[in-house]
Structure 1
């Protein structure tokens, strides 16, 4: 039986590395407390954006420039040079904490120039008609993302070693490996024989493997690696260190003095948050932990003495309550009305097949006798392509679309009498127009669809009436 924890440190936290060192990795820990842990680290904040593309604005990074039709401009070469310069500047900032600058810079230059050389060779190869760049896109993304993950893990290992910690760099990125293992097999291989009492493994957030993590999880790979390491090594507990607590709402929306840190919840709640784009953990990572009976703790990197939020498989609040009010904007409502669907079966399946063909998923859906409404987490432009296609395919249907927001009260036990009545009454009094709402009998979440402009007001109202007033 293992007694160790597997802990993940996110990119924003890693960019405040002195705090990470003081609060998570070393601090006042006695020698024995330094070990019985595996630490998975993400790339420093912003580096993956530079390597791939900006997560929010989609501005192309090295990857986006390389795969662009105009790749012959060599803009990607300048971009990867800038990534290298950024990494060297991060190294310089970490030198006072004990980083061997010469060794760290050499590591960066080797990786950057190695990848540059590889991309140049691939570019030349694909200039011949027999080789297509499109066949290598995922491999290129993997190769680029791995640079940032290896950089932070290597630096962390060296700084810890400088402080007398027996840290070991565990590079799962596949750099210069001749064999290609399966995900589980690779993790087992790298951790077989680990003495958890005497060494502290520092692990890259990306794992190169046969399955290809980018294909399924794209940029969610670091939490997938974290989860797999916890499951394979049979960890006692999995811990994610974030730059904030898992709270009852976004403090920027309702006020920091009004939100409450959630002490306990369950994986069902974590799944609902992920569906809203507010991940406590990637749902794929949560599945592995949940199925293996490993509890997950979300901690604030900068408040190390706070126990954080414990997420377990079987927790249900003794008293019915709402734990979180979560909202998201950027949704598009597509309304499909056709008199011919009344009394028919299979109509919905036809529409869903169209969505599947377009790789479109919805986060909410309502139906009536002659109308089906989907709520998609995509831009109006992408939803517009669907609407135009449907209008051609179903000329008798009345189809329109518009931007909306969704706000969800979420909790492990929301079987509170009158909850929806209190919520709708409060929203009506606040002048919020509720476009649609739903709640199922599992009592884990409810959904309120409102105009985009009412998102913050809806979150504030629901937090006041369902969280703050219920806690009095």
Structure 2
């Protein structure tokens, strides 16, 4: 014999009730079935709302009653043949009339007592069970309707206690004297020992079913709802959440106490003693496996069973030296709350006894503060303790699992995972059994926290990164192409899922929390809202997504100025924009400090060598204890391209124009040819080597005539190049005469740096540097004579995009 309970969503309308009847009919063919049914979805709330309005003298309670009536009459007309509808409708209308009379009394008295409220709330289950009974009979199901108030007896002196001796006696007597395949009971409702109508509390239909299952020692208690079991996390907030096939009673209790709405917490206790399995099933997918809850689960490999949370929490903090070593202090605190009926959800106390932190329902926080301030009025007046402090807008997140104590470091993984995503923990509670680790965090972080923890404990094979990309020109466009092209490879081989959730150019910006469709990004971006760097940041902050990365593909100073905002929100920054790292040393150092403080990576590999691992190599040298004494480098792929292709018979103007068109230079080639870009690069390398240097400390021996440097526009600059062809050809002739090549070289030595055009002889490592390649020579304590070389392509949109991509992947592996 099984006990089946159907929740409000399962009987919300006629279509759903037909599914319920099919399930009942199927199961009753092989065995006796006891069925418990909730009120139609949302009806209990409507009943209580009608009572509240009536108590306040608001006649709009009548509109609510009419709505309730319409829903039930409509269901009857859809479920029951016309020939037998009349008596069913008459019965429902009679119950509605009684309901209306009850509300009218409340309206006249302007009073809603607990006893009246219980009677009011009971109408939902009475109506739904009556309709289900007749609908099942119309389908030829052998069914018997009973009133749960004749069976379930509550103790007079307890808010939730059941008189199990009397209740079990009544069910046992009923079971031996009745026949029939299906026995239907309205959930939620009961009667006190004095015979007064009462209820089992919100969610009490589950409790009704558990009481029946325990009394009759059923083979299984089935809870039919609108989801396929208890999930690893709330599927409304965590899309990757999945049903748990099997869990223990204790795990189910922990999860239900901490916000899992699938099962009402007291439900588990009656069946636990009788070792009756609970099966959570989906009314709308009856073939789904669901969740089976039993005494024990043989799975030592799964440390965490689920992640749950409680919303609408407030923290109360009591602090002061007057608490230290004072016996009975905690007793007074909890007794004061108990006498006011205030439930404490979480407790944490420092070992110094200097402070106690409590988590309670937000709706009673003000009341609790008033009570505690009054209780400790003397101590507060004598300044031995501080008045109670309230912190609102917080939630509790809990990791639950019977096997957590078998696995070391679960707490550490939880805290580090939250910390990396800038989720601040306000309080921590953990029992010695380690079956529940609870933390209090800000309400605004709940979605990010749940997704981050779920990814850490249930999706270890795949990590999701959320990119906010600004700049979609040459480099940005290539990066998007690469992201799209490598999507499958990253998921299959590196277990990375990278999605672009924000995209911006100089005109417009778009956002999509689920990921922007990269096959249509140009069209979507063209339709976006007006772009603004500050608003782009605010939106990224508002979305508050886990593993967020800001990617800057521009050379824009305004965008570089907002890096610190991202880092302060623990959003990593990946950039090819050199302005921030080549800014004043104080600003550069601040970004590095913020990166460390907020555990947000700040990666700028492409600042120096596009896709070459120059900064990474340098960082590894320094981190391993080596010291850099000298750096020689050709750091401009664009200038190397220009001078490698500038030969006798060619015009310097044409070569520079070609470099710009092929994407080797900045949009404004003056940045490259003036040497400013190279100066910034050697500055960054010097700083990463541990030296304090400013951009104006770098000697820049420019080969460009002054007139070219001082032009007002890019067009004017190109015109000026044509006018100084003799100057450039003279440099080329001099290099040929010296059997050398022209290379724009950056050098750092003894704390000083300089950049300029040099004549490189054949025996030098720079001589054979082809195309747009870069080369860096690091002379260090470990490499004093034969320097460490890094050489390769150092310019071009494709290469730079790949360098940015590499930084993003590096973050995904951390």
**TM-score under structure 1 normalisation?**
0.84
Aligned residue number for residue 153 of structure 1: 129
Secondary structure at 2:280's aligned position in 1? Answer: strand
- Residues 214-225 of structure 1 mapped to structure 2, 5 A cutoff: 217-225=200-208
Q: Residues of 2 paired with 1:338 and 1:213: CA distance?
A: 48
Match of 2:390 among 393, 398, 401: 401
Match of 1:417 among 400, 405, 408: 408
Aligned residue number for residue 294 of structure 1: 276
Q: Conserved in 1, the CA contact under 8 Å of 2:258 and 2:309?
A: yes
Displacement of 1:224 in angstroms is: 2.1
- Cα 1:100–1:350 change in 2 (3 A) is same
Q: Residues of 2 paired with 1:382 and 1:470: CA distance?
A: 47
Residue 322 of structure 2 corresponds to residue 340 of structure 1:
yes
Displacement of 1:225 in angstroms is: 1.4
Q: Residues of 2 paired with 1:99 and 1:448: CA distance?
A: 59
Displacement of 1:20 in angstroms is: 4.8
Secondary structure at 1:290's aligned position in 2? Answer: helix
Decide which moves more: 314-323 or 102-111: 314-323
- Cα 1:31–1:464 change in 2 (3 A) is closer
Q: Residues of 2 paired with 1:26 and 1:165: CA distance?
A: 10
Q: Residues of 1 paired with 2:97 and 2:174: CA distance?
A: 26
- Residues 309-324 of structure 1 mapped to structure 2, 5 A cutoff: 309-315=291-297, 317-324=299-306
- Give the aligned length: 440
- Cα 1:364–1:192 change in 2 (3 A) is same
Q: Residues of 2 paired with 1:456 and 1:342: CA distance?
A: 38
Aligned residue number for residue 57 of structure 1: none
Aligned residue number for residue 141 of structure 2: 165
Aligned residue number for residue 83 of structure 1: 68
Q: Residues of 2 paired with 1:241 and 1:32: CA distance?
A: 15
- Residues 179-198 of structure 1 mapped to structure 2, 5 A cutoff: 183-188=167-172, 190-195=174-179, 198=180
Decide which moves more: 428-437 or 4-13: 428-437
Deviations, residues 397-435 of structure 1 (Å, cap 9, x unaligned): 223111221111111211211111122222121111122
Match of 2:226 among 243, 267, 275: 243
Deviations, residues 109-137 of structure 1 (Å, cap 9, x unaligned): 1112234446667888x79xxxxx67xx2
Q: Residues of 2 paired with 1:431 and 1:266: CA distance?
A: 33
Match of 1:64 among 52, 61, 65: 52
Q: Conserved in 1, the CA contact under 8 Å of 2:80 and 2:138?
A: no
Residue 185 of structure 2 corresponds to residue 203 of structure 1:
yes
Q: Residues of 1 paired with 2:203 and 2:83: CA distance?
A: 28
Displacement of 1:29 in angstroms is: 6.2
Aligned residue number for residue 456 of structure 1: 447
Displacement of 1:143 in angstroms is: 2.3
Displacement of 1:392 in angstroms is: 3.5
Secondary structure at 2:34's aligned position in 1? Answer: strand
Aligned residue number for residue 56 of structure 1: none
Displacement of 1:7 in angstroms is: 0.5
Q: Conserved in 1, the CA contact under 8 Å of 2:232 and 2:305?
A: yes
Residue 20 of structure 2 corresponds to residue 14 of structure 1:
no
Deviations, residues 355-387 of structure 1 (Å, cap 9, x unaligned): 111211121111122100101123344444346
Residue 253 of structure 2 corresponds to residue 253 of structure 1:
no
Q: Residues of 2 paired with 1:362 and 1:276: CA distance?
A: 13
Higher relative contact order (CA 8 A, sep 6+): 1
Residue 44 of structure 2 corresponds to residue 40 of structure 1:
no
Displacement of 1:160 in angstroms is: 1.5
Aligned residue number for residue 429 of structure 1: 420
Q: Residues of 1 paired with 2:294 and 2:60: CA distance?
A: 47
Secondary structure at 2:326's aligned position in 1? Answer: coil
Displacement of 1:172 in angstroms is: 2.5
Match of 1:110 among 74, 87, 94: 94
Q: Conserved in 1, the CA contact under 8 Å of 2:235 and 2:242?
A: no
Q: Which structure has the larger Rg?
A: 2
Q: Conserved in 2, the CA contact under 8 Å of 1:100 and 1:158?
A: no
Q: Residues of 2 paired with 1:35 and 1:18: CA distance?
A: 25
Aligned residue number for residue 466 of structure 1: 457
Cα RMSD over matched residues? 3.1
Deviations, residues 168-200 of structure 1 (Å, cap 9, x unaligned): 12222469xxxx9954454445444233xx421
Aligned residue number for residue 374 of structure 2: 389
Q: Residues of 2 paired with 1:81 and 1:31: CA distance?
A: 36
Q: Residues of 2 paired with 1:393 and 1:51: CA distance?
A: 45
Decide which moves more: 225-234 or 437-446: 437-446
- Cα 1:122–1:440 change in 2 (3 A) is closer
Q: Residues of 2 paired with 1:10 and 1:213: CA distance?
A: 25
Match of 2:287 among 286, 305, 308: 305
- Provide structure 2 residue ranges, at least 5 long, that are not aligned to the other structure: 157-162, 463-494, 496-814
Decide which moves more: 399-408 or 13-22: 13-22
Displacement of 1:215 in angstroms is: 6.2
Displacement of 1:311 in angstroms is: 0.7
Q: Residues of 1 paired with 2:330 and 2:206: CA distance?
A: 35
Deviations, residues 278-318 of structure 1 (Å, cap 9, x unaligned): 24432322111111221111111111112211111233532
- Cα 1:157–1:80 change in 2 (3 A) is same
